[in-house]
């Protein structure tokens, strides 16, 4: 064979590998825990400096009308991992309690059967991506079930290092129960270091391994603990908080946690650049729901645990070089379920039969430059004897709460009253509009009735 022919074959081989590597994009989803809408400087934080996350927005799109599918951790994560309303799963309308505790009747029933969590056959996203050749990894907070059968490795993930529960001490990696919670795969482990840093180091190590695997796309899910309680800064006291101290914290400590999280996001993004992976990688950053105090949800009303917008409207940012034009701001109503649908569409993946997404492809909406469309979205959140309902239909939002035999209802026009202060149910026209939304809510509840 002539030298020219050999060189041609080598160059064609290199080109084939390059095209294969660029064939399907990598996907990284960074999920903050309990971060409020206004906890990032790019979303109006008056005190926290988050230049790395802000830069991500400057290089992509910033969403201003984006919702979690629940006001607590487990339901929002269920919606993301399934692309469907969390009510369809059963038992996960409230965060799984520390030590594998159910917090309302359906969750208590499932916990009694050792069945409180996301069943593997109801997981949608990771299995679908895996079928399309993706290597899936999760480093960080799971909160989808303590039982061994709910391990991420049985949910379509190839790698898992993180913790099973909803909150762990950042220095000792334990929670307020006797159960082991920090795992590598299926094995409980002990580690030294600050949780936010350990999650980042695991993610970076994964990226470094993947750079040597051209043509093998990856899905990297990085659900951070920060800034969820216990409120601990990396330079703060390392002593294990008492039960009374567990949920107590100052805004100054909280800001340190936010800024440290931003620095860790910066480390991850730098690794992508150094490894020449950035150009073919979609990176999305979001929060799982609104903040509790001392977080900030302004200008929206209230906090985590409620269905006012302060409990469910969250920051969301997406960067995809060459696909998403930089510097965009989107007011399109989106959800975590919509991200799931976007990720699957990007990967060319399809859900299993009967598990179609409840969301819209929010990223394609931005990429195609489509006109914003009205949405009808539903929520139901339960804890103990308290139940919240909400439906947003266009700009109208109806809410209902029952607790201790008392019922409260609200109707707001979010276009005129984004802070949800003026209850339209005080007027005849408001009562008529609410009846329409109540009927839609009843129909939705029938549709999403769980199968277990």
Q: What angle do CA 242, 248, 250 make, to 5 degrees?
A: 135
C-alpha distances out from residue 382 to 95, 196, 224, 271, 309, Å: 9, 29, 24, 41, 17
Query: Is 92 exposed, middle or buried (CB count within 10 Å of its CB: 0-12, 13-18, 19+)?
Result: buried
- Both structure tokens of 96: 């799984």
CA distance 420 to 302: 10
Q: What angle do CA 330, 334, 338 make, to 5 degrees?
A: 125
Which H/E stretch holds residue 328? strand 328-330
For the chain, how big is the Rg over CA atoms in Å? 22
Q: Quick one: how far is CA 440 from the chain centroid?
A: 26
Which residue of the set 143, 224, 228, 365 is catalytic?
A: 143
CA distance 140 to 203: 9
C-alpha distances out from residue 384 to 71, 94, 394, 445, Å: 15, 9, 31, 19
The residue written with tokens 């129909």 in the block is 443
Dump strand ranges (E) for 186-270. 187-188, 218-223
- Both structure tokens of 299: 């200008």
Other CB atoms within 10 Å distance of the CB of residue 235: 10
Give yes or no: 316 in active site.
no
Dump strand ranges (E) for 70-192. 135-141, 159-163, 182-184, 187-188
Which H/E stretch holds residue 205? helix 195-210
DSSP state of 372: P
C-alpha distances out from residue 360 to 215, 216, 324, Å: 28, 27, 17
Give yes or no: 73 in active site.
yes
**Which residues form the catalytic set?**
73, 143
């Amino acid at each position: 064979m002539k030298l020219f022919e050999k060189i041609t074959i080598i160059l064609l081989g290199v080109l084939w590998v390059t095209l294969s590597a660029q064939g399907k994009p990598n996907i990284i989803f960074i999920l903050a825990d309990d971060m409020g809408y206004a906890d990032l400087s790019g979303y109006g934080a008056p005190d926290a400096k988050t230049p790395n996350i802000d830069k991500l927005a400057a290089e992509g799109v910033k969403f201003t009308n984006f919702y979690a599918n629940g006001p607590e951790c487990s339901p929002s994560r269920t919606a993301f991992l399934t692309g469907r309303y969390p009510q369809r799963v059963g038992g996960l309308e409230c965060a799984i309690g520390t030590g594998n505790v159910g917090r309302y009747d359906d969750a208590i029933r499932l916990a009694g059967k050792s069945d409180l969590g996301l069943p593997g056959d109801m997981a949608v996203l990771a299995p679908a991506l895996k079928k399309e050749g993706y290597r899936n990894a999760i480093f960080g907070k799971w909160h989808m079930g303590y039982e061994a059968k709910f391990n991420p490795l049985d949910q379509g993930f190839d790698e898992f290092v993180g913790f099973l529960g909803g909150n762990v001490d950042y220095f000792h990696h334990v929670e307020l129960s006797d159960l082991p919670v920090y795992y590598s795969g299926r094995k409980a482990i002990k580690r030294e270091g600050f949780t936010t840093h350990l999650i980042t180091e695991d993610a970076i190590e994964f990226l470094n391994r993947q750079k040597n695997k051209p043509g093998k796309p990856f899905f990297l899910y990085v659900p951070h603990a920060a800034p969820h309680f216990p409120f601990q800064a990396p330079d703060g006291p390392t002593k294990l908080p008492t039960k009374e101290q567990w949920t107590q914290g100052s805004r100054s400590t909280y800001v340190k946690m936010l800024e440290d999280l931003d620095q860790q996001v910066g480390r991850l993004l730098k690794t992508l650049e150094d490894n020449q992976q950035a150009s073919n990688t979609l990176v999305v950053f979001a929060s799982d729901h609104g903040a509790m105090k001392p977080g900030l949800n302004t200008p929206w009303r209230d906090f985590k645990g409620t269905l006012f917008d302060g409990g469910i409207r969250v920051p969301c940012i997406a960067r995809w070089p060459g696909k998403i034009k930089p510097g965009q701001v989107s007011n399109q109503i989106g959800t975590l379920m919509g991200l799931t649908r976007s990720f699957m569409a990007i990967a060319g993946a399809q859900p299993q039969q009967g598990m179609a997404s409840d969301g819209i492809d929010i990223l394609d909406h931005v990429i195609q430059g489509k006109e914003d469309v009205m949405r009808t979205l539903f929520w139901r959140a339960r804890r103990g004897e308290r139940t919240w309902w909400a439906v947003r239909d266009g700009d109208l939002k109806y809410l209902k709460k029952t607790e201790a035999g008392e019922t409260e209802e609200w109707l707001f026009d979010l276009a005129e009253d984004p802070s949800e202060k003026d209850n339209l149910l005080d007027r005849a026209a408001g009562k008529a509009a609410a009846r329409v939304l109540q009927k839609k809510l009843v129909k939705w509840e029938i549709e999403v009735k769980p199968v277990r």
